[in-house]
Structure 1
Amino acid sequence: MFNPLISEHWQKTEAQITALSERMNLNWQTFFSSLDDDQQAAVKHVLVVSDFVADALPRDHDHLCAAISDDRINQPIRANDYHQWLNELSDKAETEDDWHRALRRLRRRAMVHIIWRDALKTGHTLETTRALSELADVCVIRSIEFLQPLLEVRHGKPLAKSSEDEQEMLVIGMGKLGGWELNLSSDIDLIFAYPESGNTTGPKVISNQEFFTKLGQKLIQALDKQTVDGFVFRTDMRLRPYGESGPLVMNFASIDEYYQTQGRDWERYAMVKARIMTGEDSDNAQALLDILRPFTYRAYVDFSAFESLRSMKAMINAEVRRRGLMNNVKLGPGGIREVEFIVQAFQLIRGGQEKHLQTRELMQVLDMLSAEGYLPVTATEELKTAYCFLRDSEHALQALRDEQTQELPIEPLDQARIALSMQCKDWQVYLDTLQQHRDVVSHHFAQIVAHDEEDESSETDHIWLDLWHGELTDEAREALKQNHSCANDTAVTQLINEFRESRAVHNMQQIGRERLEALMPALLEQVCRQSDSEETLTRIIPLLEAVLRRTAYLVLLSENPQALEQLIKLCSASSWVAEYITRTPLLLDELLVPETLFRLPDPDELQEELRLRLLRVEADDLEQQMEQLRQFVRAHKLRAAACEVMDKLPLMKISDYLSRLAETAMTMVMNLAFEQMVSKYGYPTNAEKDPVYQPEFLVVGYGKSGGRELSYSSDLDMVFIHQGTPGRYTTGERSLDNGVFYTRMGQRMVHMCTSQTRSGDLYEVDLRLRPSGNSGMIVASVKAFDEYQQNHAWTWEHQALVRARPLCGEPRLFEVFNSIRQRILTQSRDIPALREEVRAMRQKMRDNLGSKDTSGQQFHLKQDQGGIVDIEFLVQYGVLAWSHQHPELLQVTDNMRLLDAFAKAGLMAPKDCQTLQETYLSYRAETHRRALQKQSLLLEGDIVSELGFDARRNDVTQLWKLWLEPDQ
C-alpha cells in the first residue's frame, strides 16, 4: 500500500517521533516493537496520514500508548469518556489558566482517538462527527460550571428582577455543532442567552447582562484562546442577533423581539440546526425553543420560502465563481454545502407542518424525505453516499496538520496521503471517485427550487460562428447585413479578427477555447444589435481579455442569454460600466437576474446582504473582509449605473441610493473596526469603569455624502467624533486610554476604506474638514468638536456644516451632533461681512479650479461662474444668513430641499427656486452622464449651447448677483 512517497514520509515521521520521545525521556522504539503486526500497521497508517497524531503521541505518551496496546483506541468514544479524562486532567485546576491547559490537553487526547478511528475507517463518518460534537458540548458545559463560580465570588448570583429566581446562561449551538456534525477543524457557532434581566447579589452588584457578558467572554477565551497548548475550538459568535455589532448575550424578551421584528431569511436557514447545549431539559430551554421555532418554521407549507432559497442558491453559485472554489470539497460545486442546502430547503418549506422534519441531523432528514416521497429513494441514497465521501475527504484533509481547510492539496505527497486515508489506489482514482460524487450532488442541487423557465434558447445560427471565425461567404455577409449593418463594417470585422488572433486567445487551454467558441456567436449577435457596434465591441473586448483565464465567466455568459444581453446593452450605453466590470469581472454575477439588477434594495436589504457576505468570512481575516466590502459596494454601484443608463430611475433616486450604499458600508466598517480594536485592547469603559459594549462613535458626512448627492466615484468627506469617557481606559491586557482607542479605531477605518485589494479601494476618504484640518486629530471628541466650531472655525467651515449629517454611529450621538450643528448655524451673523467672505472663498475656488477661459468658449460645469458650485454657495449663504430667523432651514441638508425651504419661508421667489432646482438637476444629470462616459466636465461652447446651458448659466449668475452682490 505504501508508495515511495509514503514510505519516505514514514521514515521521516518515525525519526521525528523518536527524537521527540528521547527529549521527553520516552522510549518510542521499545513501545513500537512491543506491538503485533496488525497494530504496527495501524500505527504506521495513522501516523503517515496525520502529522497531528504524530506530534500528539509523545505529548500524551502514557495514555495513548496504553490505549493502542490494549486496543481501547479503536473503541467508540462516549461523552462519559470526555468527562472522565477532563476530571483527570483538571484535578488540580484552580485558576482560569489551569482550566485552559486542561481543556487543551483533553482536546489533543480526544482528537487522537477520533482521528485514529476515522483514518482506519473503524469508525463511520457519523461517529466521527458525533464524537467531535460531544467533545464541544462537554467543553462548553464544563467550562461554564468551572467559570461561573469564579465570577460569583466577586459579583454574587444573578437573579431575575421580578421573580428573584436564579438565572442561567443558555448556549445555543448553531450550524454543524447544532446538528451533531462537527468536522475535525470546525469553528463552533454559538449564541448566548439568559431568561430575565435583573442584578447579581453582590458583593459587587452588576446587572445580569453584564454578568453573563463576562461569563460569555471567559467561555470564549477558554475555548478559542491560542496558548502553548494550542486551542480547543475556534468560536464564532456572528450568528447572534445583530451580528458582531450586537450584545454578546441577550435576555429572552430581547431575543423574541429581535426575531419577530428583524429576523432575516438567512437566519431562519441557520436556525434549522439550532440546539440548546446547556440545560437542554430545563423549563428555560423549552421557553427559548418556543421563541425560536415559530421564527424558523411557519405553521403552513411555506412556499414563500422558495424565493429566498433561490436567492441563497444563487449566492452559493456566485461565491463558487467569485472565490475560485472549484477544488473545495465543502464550498465547491457538488460539495458538502450543496447537500446541506438540499436538505434544509425541504425543512424550511415543510418543517412547520411536518414536525418530524425539524430534526437537526442531515442523514436522518434525508431518510424522512425519501420515506415521505419528497425525494426519490435513489436520490437520497446517492446523496447520503456522496455526503459521507465528502465528509471523509474533509476529515482526511484536516487530519493532515489539524488545519481548517477543505481545499484539495497540490503537493504530491499530501495527495498520496489523502488517497491512502480514503482507501484509494492513488490520487487519480480518488479524484475520479470524488468527481462522480460531486456530479451527483450538483445534479440534485440544480433541481432544488429551480425557476420554472424554459431551457436555453436554441443554438445560435452558424452565420455568427462564421463571422467569429472570419469565414463569412459573400452570400452570407449580404444576407447578414440586411438586418445588421455591422456585417459590412470593416472596423468591426478588424476588431473581431484581431481579438481572435491575439496572443491571449491563442494561449488559452483547450477547455477555455471551447467555452469562448460557445460564447462568441451569441455575443457578436448582441453586439451587432447595438446602434454603435464598433464602440460597443471596443468596450467589450478588454472585458473578454480580462476573463480568458477565468473561463467560468465565459460559461456564465453563454449559459445565461439574459445576462449576456444586459452586459452588451450596458457596455453600449456606458464606457464607465464597461471599464468597471472589466476591472472587477465578478460583477458579471449581478447580470444574472435583470429584475434584481434594475431594482435597488432598501436599507434593510442592503444591510442584510452585506452582513450575510461577511458571515462567510473568518472574523480575523481583515483582508477578506475588506475584499467583500469592496465587492459589495461595486456590485451595487453597478446596479445604480444600470438603472441610470437604462433610464429606469431618476437622478435623485440614484444619488439617494449611492448615499445609502455608502452609509451601509461605513456602518459595517465602523463595526468591524470596533470589533478588531476590542479584540486587541478590550472595551472602552465609562465613568464607573464598566465596559461600554457599543462604540460611542459617530461618522459625519459632509459635502456630497452629507447632501445625499453621491456619484459613482465620489470621495467621502467625513469627520469622526467620539464621546468616550476621558481619563478612562480599555479593559484589555494591552489597555489604552479611551481617546487613543477611538483615534486608532478611526485610523483603522481609514485603512479599511483606502487600502488597495484585488478589487481596488472601498472609497477615497477626505478628512480635511475635521477640526484644524490636516493638522487636527483624526477623531475629535464631542467637546473638542463643539469648542472648535464655536470659537475657531472659519466661515467656509460653517458653510460645510450646512451639508453635514450623521451617516452612522451611536444613535445618541446623532442628537448631540445635530444640537451642536443647530447652535452653530443659527447664530446671528453680520450679513455684509458674510457676503464678502462667501464671495472671496468662491473667487478663490474659481481662480484655482475653474477653466481659465476668458473667451467664453468653454464652461467648467462645476467650477466656472454660473456652475454647480455657485448654486451650492448661494444655498449655503442663505442658510448661514437666515437660520437664526428660520430654524426650519436646518431640517434638511441637500440643495434641492433647501431651495424648497427658502421658497416656503419667503426668502426666495418660487420662480427663482424652480429655476435653480431645474438648473441644478440638469447640471448634475450631465455630470452623471459624463462620468458614465468617462468624459471631462469642461464643456466646449457648441455643447454648452446644444444643452441649453448658456441660458441656465446666465440665470444662476443673475441670482448670484441678487443675493450676494446686491451692492454692486
Structure 2
Amino acid sequence: MIKHPALPESLKGTVEQSWNAILDAAGSAQQAALESLLAQPGLSRQLAVVLAGSRYAAETLRRRPWLLLQLCSAGELETPLREGALEFELGELLAGSDDEATVVLRRFRQRQMLRIIWRDLNRLAPTLETTRDVSWLADACITHGLKHCTAELEAKYGQPLGSDSGEHQELVVLAMGKLGAHELNLSSDIDLIFTYPERGNTKGAARSISNEEFFTRVGRALIALLDPVTAEGFVFRVDMRLRPYGESGSLVQSFAGLEAYYQEQGRDWERYALIKARPVTGKLQYRQALMACLHPFVYRRYVDYSAIESLRSMKQLIVAEVRRRGLQRNVKLGSGGIREIEFIAQCFQLIRGGRDSTLQRRELFAVLTQCADLGCLPQDVVQELQAAYLFLRDVEHVIQAWEDRQTQELPDQELACAALAFCMGFADFPAFMAGLDAYRDSVTKHFAALIAEAEDSTPAPQSAGLWGADCNPEQLADLGFTNADGLAERLRTLFESRRVQRLQAEGRERLDRFMPLLLEACAESEHPDLALERALPLVSAVARRSAYLLLLIENPPALADLAALCGASPWIAEQLSTRPALLDELLDRASLYTAPEKETLQSELRQQLARLTVDDLEGHMDALRYFKASQVLRVAASEISGRLPLMKVSDKLSFIAEVCLEQVLALAWAQLSLRYGEPSREGTGRGFVVLAYGKLGGIELSYASDLDLVFIYDATAGGYTDGERPIDNATFYMRLGQKMIHILETRMGLGQLYEVDMRLRPSGASGMLVSTLGAFEQYQRNDAWTWEHQALVRARPVAGDEMLAEKVEHLRRSILCESRDTTALAREVVSMREKMRSHAKVTVDDTELDLKQGFGGIVDIEFMVQYAVLAWASQDPSLADWSDNVRILETLAHSGYLQKEQCQSLVQAYLELRSATHQLALQQQSRNLPATQFAAERSSVQLAWESLFAKVQGDENSTDDS
C-alpha cells in the first residue's frame, strides 16, 4: 500500500485507485516489480505525491507502466540532466527505431515529462531546473524534428543554396518567450519564428524551388510534426503569431527581410518580445549573424527613455485586461502574477539594456539580480520579487501537472484544490491561498510603483503659463527669479526659435509639459537665475530628442539635481548640454554624488565593454568616452556638493584616466594582435608600459588636464610578431602607440577621450614615439636636461606590463637618486623657472595673480619640490618614493631637509591654490585673480623659495649688477 504521512484523507482514495489501475494494466511480471518499489519508503512517498498531484502522470503510467520501472532502474528520478543529454538520447532513438518520427517524438516526450513532473512535485529539482529541463526537451524535439523534415524535403527539392554566398542554407528556428530564456512551464506552448540566412534556390533535384518556398514547406512540416494531438498525444503546441505581421505574415523570412521589418515597422511590444529570443537551430555563424541584426532593434545604443511611454501603455493594458477578464484566479496574468514580475524586469532591460550590457540577459531571475547590482531596484525588492517568482512558477507547474493542460487558472474542483495545496506544502487550500495572496500582494505593490502614471507629472498651476510667446516677467519674479525681464526674453526667444517651432507633435507636447517643471525646479534651487540661464542651452540641444525631456518629466528628483548642478557650475551645465546622454547619471542620486574607487571603475568599464567585439573600434571608443564623461560628472557633482576634498578629487580624476588608459592599451593590443600576431619577447606580459608625467603622474589631475605620456617597450631585439602577417617588434610597438593616441584623441559625438602630449619622450617631438627601455635609460643618464629630470620626479607607470613597470620605476628612482652638485642644480632650476615666467609674461608687480605661474603660485611649489628630490634623494632615497607633491613635502618634513613648519605651510598653500583652480574650472573662469587674494599663502611660498635659492639668486643678482 502506498503511504505518505502528510497525504490528506481526500486524496488517499485517488492515489490508491490510480495505483491499482496501473497494476491492472501491467503484466504479471511487471506487477511484481512495481509492487517491490513500495518497499522503498522514499520512493513510495514520492509515488504518492505524483499520483495525488498529477492525473496526467497517473494516466501515462496506466498506459505505459514499464516507464516507471525504466526510470527507477536507470536512476533518472534522482539525477539532474546534463546539457545535451536529451538531444543525444532522442537522436539515438530516432536512428534506431522503426516507428515513425511522430510516434518516437511523442513517446519520448511522455517519458521525459513523467520524469520532470516527478522531480518537480517532489521538490527533487529546484524550480529553475524544471523550467530548464522542459526547455531542453523542446530544444531536442525541435532540433531533431527539423532534421527529419529538412532531410525529407531536400530529397525531393535539393539543397537550398544562398544566391550570394553559394553556401548551404538552414532554417534557423528562433525561440521566443519562455523557451528562448529556458523558462518553459510544464505544459507550455512554444513561440517560434522561422528565418533563414539568404535568398536563393534549391539545387540537386529534378525540381528546384526558391529558398523561401523550401523553408516554408520545412516550417509547415515541422509544425505538423510537433503540434497535432494524436493517439500518442502531442509534442509541443506551436505558436507562430510573434512573427512579422503575425498570422497574416509569411511563415518564414530571410535575415534581411527580418531586419528590414524590425527597422521599418517594428513596434515596442516586439522589442519586448525579442528580449528573450534565442536561436535553437542553425550553424553558430548563422545564429550569431541573426542576433547581431536583431540587437540594435532590441537594445538602443544608450539609455532609451522613449520606451517609457510605450511601457506605461503596456502596463495600463495589463491592468485593464485583469479587470476586464476577471483574471484574479490566474497566477500568470492576474494581479500580482508572473507576467507583472516579467514586466518589471523587462522594463529595465528595454530602457537601460543598451548601455548596461549586463541587463542583456534572457533569464528573468538573472535580470532581477542585475537590477539590484545596478541600483535599478533595491536589493530587498529584488529578493521579494524573486521569492514570489519561484513560488508562482511552482504553483503554475502544479496546476499544469494535474492534467497536462496549458492553464494558469487556480482550480475549482475540490479534489484539484486539495492536490494543489498538498503539493505546495500547505495543510489545506485556505492556507495555500493565504500564502499565495501574500506573494501576489508584494508583486502588485512593486508593479504599481513602476512607471508613474502620466497625470502624476502634471505641471503646477503657478508655472504653467510661463512657457510661451507671452511669457510674463512678473510671474517669473513671483517665482523668485531676479533678472525676470532678461529671462522672460530668453524664454520667448527659445519658444519662437525654428528648432522649437518645427518640432513634431509628440516632441512639442513633451516640451510644453517639461518647461513649467524646469522653471519650478530652477526657482527652488539655490541660484535660480543661473540655473535657468545655464539649463536653456540644454533644452535647445535636446528639443528634437525629446526622450531626454521625458526622462526629466518622469523623474522630478533628477530634474531638481539638474537645476542645482546647473546653478552651481556652468562647466557641468555645458557638459550636459554637449553630452545629453549624461542625463542618465541624474537618475541615481547615490551614484551621482559618489565617485567610485579604482577597482569599481575597472569593473564598471569591463561590464560596459563586455557586449562589444574586439573589431568594433567605434563602439569601444564611444563607450570609453561615455564612461569617462559620466565618471568625471560624478566627481564634479561630488566636489560641488562638498562631498569630496581636493586630494580625493584629484585621486578620482587620476583613477578614471588610468582605467581608461588600461582599456585603451588592451583594445589597441587586441586589434594589432589580430592583424599581426604578438611580438616575440621573453617572459609573460605585453612588454609595454605607459609612463605618465605631469598631473597624471603626480596623481593631481584636474577636469581639463591633458595627459603627458611616454611609451616604453622591452622586447626581443630584431624579433618579429607571430601572426600570419608578421612585422618587426619595433614597428608593432610604434603602431601600438599610434593606435592608442588615435583612440584617445579622435573627436567623436562625445568629444575626445583625452588630449595627449608626448613631448616629454626622449628627444622630444623629434624623438621616436615609442622608446625601448635601454634607449630611455641611455637618454636619461647621458642626454637629458635638468628640467627633464625635474619632470621625472612626477612620473609613474600607469598602465601596461607590471614587470616592465617595476623596471621603469627602478630606473626612475636610480636617476632621481644620482648625486648632483646642488649649487649648479639650484642655478638651473631657478633659470628654468624664470624662463617660464618670462614666457607667461608674469612680473612681480602684476595686479593679477596667475594661480599657476605667478610669484608664490603652484609652479613655484612644484619646482621647490623637484629641486629637493634631485638634490637630496641620493642621501635619502625615500624622497623618490612618491610622485605627488604633497607626500614628497611630508617626506621632506620627516627627513629634516626642510623645516616641518615650512613644509606644512607649503602643503596648505598648495592645496588652497589647487582647490581654487578646480573651483575656477567648474565656474569656467580664468585662473587669474586679484593679486591681493591668497596673500598669506603666496607669502609663505615666496619665503620658502628665498630660503632655498637665496644663494643662487644672490649670485645672479650680483652678476646682473656688475
Is TM > 0.5 for Structure 1 vs Structure 2?
Answer: yes
Partner letter of residue 938 of structure 2? R
CA distance in structure 1 between the aligned counterparts of 2:364 and 2:222, rounded to whole angstroms: 30
- Does the Cα contact within 8 Å between 2:710 and 2:770 map onto a contact in 1? yes
The residue correspondences of 1:743-762 to structure 2 (distance < 5 A) are 743-762=734-753
CA distance in structure 2 between the aligned counterparts of 1:570 and 1:809, rounded to whole angstroms: 36
| Structure 2 match to 1:894 | 884
Given the alignment of the two structures, is residue 925 of structure 1 paired with residue 915 of structure 2, yes or no?
yes
CA distance in structure 2 between the aligned counterparts of 1:70 and 1:937, rounded to whole angstroms: 72
Q: CA deviation at 1:341?
A: 5.6
Cα pair distance change 1:842/1:546, threshold 3 Å:
same
- Does the Cα contact within 8 Å between 1:310 and 1:450 map onto a contact in 2? no
Q: Answer with 1 or 2: which has the greater Rg.
A: 2
Partner letter of residue 711 of structure 1? S
- Does the Cα contact within 8 Å between 1:704 and 1:710 map onto a contact in 2? yes
Q: Secondary structure at the match of 2:594?
A: coil
| Structure 2 match to 1:103 | none
Given the alignment of the two structures, is residue 711 of structure 1 paired with residue 711 of structure 2, yes or no?
no
Partner letter of residue 646 of structure 1? S
Q: CA deviation at 1:618?
A: 3.2
Q: Secondary structure at the match of 1:924?
A: helix
| Structure 2 match to 1:906 | 896
Partner letter of residue 487 of structure 2? V
Given the alignment of the two structures, is residue 765 of structure 1 paired with residue 750 of structure 2, yes or no?
no
The residue correspondences of 1:27-38 to structure 2 (distance < 5 A) are none
Partner letter of residue 880 of structure 2? L
- TM-score, scaled relative to structure 2: 0.58
Q: Secondary structure at the match of 1:726?
A: coil
| Structure 2 match to 1:182 | 279
Aligned length: 629
CA distance in structure 2 between the aligned counterparts of 1:855 and 1:502, rounded to whole angstroms: 49
Deviation readout 1:749-770 (Å, 9 max, x if unpaired): 0000000111110000011111
Match of 2:866 among 876, 882, 898: 876
- Does the Cα contact within 8 Å between 1:707 and 1:804 map onto a contact in 2? yes
CA distance in structure 2 between the aligned counterparts of 1:445 and 1:667, rounded to whole angstroms: 45
Given the alignment of the two structures, is residue 55 of structure 1 paired with residue 193 of structure 2, yes or no?
no
- Does the Cα contact within 8 Å between 2:477 and 2:484 map onto a contact in 1? no
Q: Secondary structure at the match of 1:467?
A: coil
| Structure 2 match to 1:89 | none
CA distance in structure 2 between the aligned counterparts of 1:570 and 1:23, rounded to whole angstroms: 56
Partner letter of residue 344 of structure 1? A
**Where does the alignment leave 5 or more consecutive residues of structure 1 unmatched?**
1-16, 25-48, 78-114, 130-175, 189-222, 224-230, 238-308, 324-330, 351-356, 358-362, 375-379, 383-443
Partner letter of residue 651 of structure 1? L
CA distance in structure 2 between the aligned counterparts of 1:622 and 1:861, rounded to whole angstroms: 40
Given the alignment of the two structures, is residue 937 of structure 1 paired with residue 927 of structure 2, yes or no?
yes
Cα pair distance change 1:786/1:695, threshold 3 Å:
same
Match of 2:802 among 811, 816, 821: 811
| Structure 2 match to 1:637 | 632
Match of 1:342 among 364, 367, 375: 364
Match of 1:519 among 482, 500, 514: 514
Deviation readout 1:608-649 (Å, 9 max, x if unpaired): 111111122233111111011001000011111101111111
Q: CA deviation at 1:373?
A: 10
CA distance in structure 2 between the aligned counterparts of 1:23 and 1:456, rounded to whole angstroms: 55
Q: Secondary structure at the match of 2:689?
A: strand
Cα pair distance change 1:65/1:503, threshold 3 Å:
closer
| Structure 2 match to 1:950 | 935
- Does the Cα contact within 8 Å between 1:492 and 1:533 map onto a contact in 2? no
Cα pair distance change 1:347/1:787, threshold 3 Å:
closer
- Does the Cα contact within 8 Å between 1:577 and 1:638 map onto a contact in 2? yes
Partner letter of residue 632 of structure 1? F
- Does the Cα contact within 8 Å between 1:717 and 1:765 map onto a contact in 2? yes
| Structure 1 match to 2:950 | 965
Partner letter of residue 182 of structure 1? P
Q: CA deviation at 1:964?
A: 1.9
Q: CA deviation at 1:546?
A: 0.5
| Structure 1 match to 2:599 | 604
| Structure 2 match to 1:680 | 675
CA distance in structure 2 between the aligned counterparts of 1:642 and 1:885, rounded to whole angstroms: 44
Q: Quick one: percent identity of the two aligned structures?
A: 38
Q: Secondary structure at the match of 1:486?
A: coil
Q: CA deviation at 1:794?
A: 1.1
Q: CA deviation at 1:447?
A: 5.7
Given the alignment of the two structures, is residue 544 of structure 1 paired with residue 539 of structure 2, yes or no?
yes
Give the RMSD, CA atoms, in angstroms: 4.8
CA distance in structure 2 between the aligned counterparts of 1:470 and 1:23, rounded to whole angstroms: 60
- TM-score, scaled relative to structure 1: 0.58
Q: Secondary structure at the match of 1:721?
A: strand
Cα pair distance change 1:778/1:349, threshold 3 Å:
closer
| Structure 2 match to 1:621 | 616
- Does the Cα contact within 8 Å between 1:318 and 1:589 map onto a contact in 2? no
Deviation readout 1:217-250 (Å, 9 max, x if unpaired): xxxxxx7xxxxxxx8957999xxxxxxxxxxxxx
CA distance in structure 2 between the aligned counterparts of 1:315 and 1:752, rounded to whole angstroms: 29
The residue correspondences of 1:408-423 to structure 2 (distance < 5 A) are none
- Does the Cα contact within 8 Å between 1:683 and 1:693 map onto a contact in 2? no
The residue correspondences of 1:215-234 to structure 2 (distance < 5 A) are none
Q: CA deviation at 1:452?
A: 12
CA distance in structure 1 between the aligned counterparts of 2:205 and 2:853, rounded to whole angstroms: 75
CA distance in structure 1 between the aligned counterparts of 2:556 and 2:164, rounded to whole angstroms: 67
Match of 1:737 among 724, 728, 738: 728
CA distance in structure 2 between the aligned counterparts of 1:832 and 1:61, rounded to whole angstroms: 99
Partner letter of residue 540 of structure 2? E
Deviation readout 1:808-830 (Å, 9 max, x if unpaired): 11111121111101111110001
Given the alignment of the two structures, is residue 468 of structure 1 paired with residue 467 of structure 2, yes or no?
yes
CA distance in structure 1 between the aligned counterparts of 2:446 and 2:895, rounded to whole angstroms: 62
CA distance in structure 2 between the aligned counterparts of 1:125 and 1:342, rounded to whole angstroms: 30
Deviation readout 1:308-335 (Å, 9 max, x if unpaired): x999976862455x79xxxxxxx9xxxx
Q: CA deviation at 1:74?
A: 5.7
Q: Secondary structure at the match of 2:771?
A: strand
CA distance in structure 1 between the aligned counterparts of 2:687 and 2:472, rounded to whole angstroms: 72
Q: Secondary structure at the match of 1:733?
A: coil
Given the alignment of the two structures, is residue 317 of structure 1 paired with residue 327 of structure 2, yes or no?
no
CA distance in structure 1 between the aligned counterparts of 2:704 and 2:371, rounded to whole angstroms: 42
| Structure 2 match to 1:797 | 788
Cα pair distance change 1:452/1:496, threshold 3 Å:
closer
The residue correspondences of 1:421-500 to structure 2 (distance < 5 A) are 459-469=458-468, 477=474, 481=477, 484-486=479-481, 489-500=484-495
- Does the Cα contact within 8 Å between 2:471 and 2:492 map onto a contact in 1? no
CA distance in structure 2 between the aligned counterparts of 1:347 and 1:76, rounded to whole angstroms: 37
CA distance in structure 1 between the aligned counterparts of 2:165 and 2:586, rounded to whole angstroms: 62
CA distance in structure 2 between the aligned counterparts of 1:667 and 1:61, rounded to whole angstroms: 61
- Does the Cα contact within 8 Å between 2:527 and 2:564 map onto a contact in 1? no
CA distance in structure 2 between the aligned counterparts of 1:659 and 1:649, rounded to whole angstroms: 14
Deviation readout 1:819-842 (Å, 9 max, x if unpaired): 101111110001111011111111
Q: Secondary structure at the match of 1:859?
A: strand
CA distance in structure 2 between the aligned counterparts of 1:318 and 1:630, rounded to whole angstroms: 18
- Does the Cα contact within 8 Å between 2:530 and 2:566 map onto a contact in 1? no
Q: Secondary structure at the match of 1:550?
A: coil
- Does the Cα contact within 8 Å between 1:698 and 1:810 map onto a contact in 2? yes
The residue correspondences of 1:83-162 to structure 2 (distance < 5 A) are none
Partner letter of residue 683 of structure 1? E
CA distance in structure 1 between the aligned counterparts of 2:197 and 2:832, rounded to whole angstroms: 69
- Does the Cα contact within 8 Å between 1:682 and 1:732 map onto a contact in 2? yes
Q: Secondary structure at the match of 1:700?
A: strand
Partner letter of residue 644 of structure 2? L
CA distance in structure 2 between the aligned counterparts of 1:600 and 1:721, rounded to whole angstroms: 31
- Does the Cα contact within 8 Å between 1:715 and 1:766 map onto a contact in 2? yes
Q: CA deviation at 1:962?
A: 1.1
The residue correspondences of 1:690-729 to structure 2 (distance < 5 A) are 694-729=685-720
CA distance in structure 2 between the aligned counterparts of 1:581 and 1:559, rounded to whole angstroms: 18
CA distance in structure 1 between the aligned counterparts of 2:600 and 2:517, rounded to whole angstroms: 34
- Does the Cα contact within 8 Å between 2:759 and 2:765 map onto a contact in 1? yes
Partner letter of residue 460 of structure 1? P
| Structure 1 match to 2:853 | 863
Match of 1:646 among 628, 631, 641: 641
Cα pair distance change 1:526/1:71, threshold 3 Å:
closer
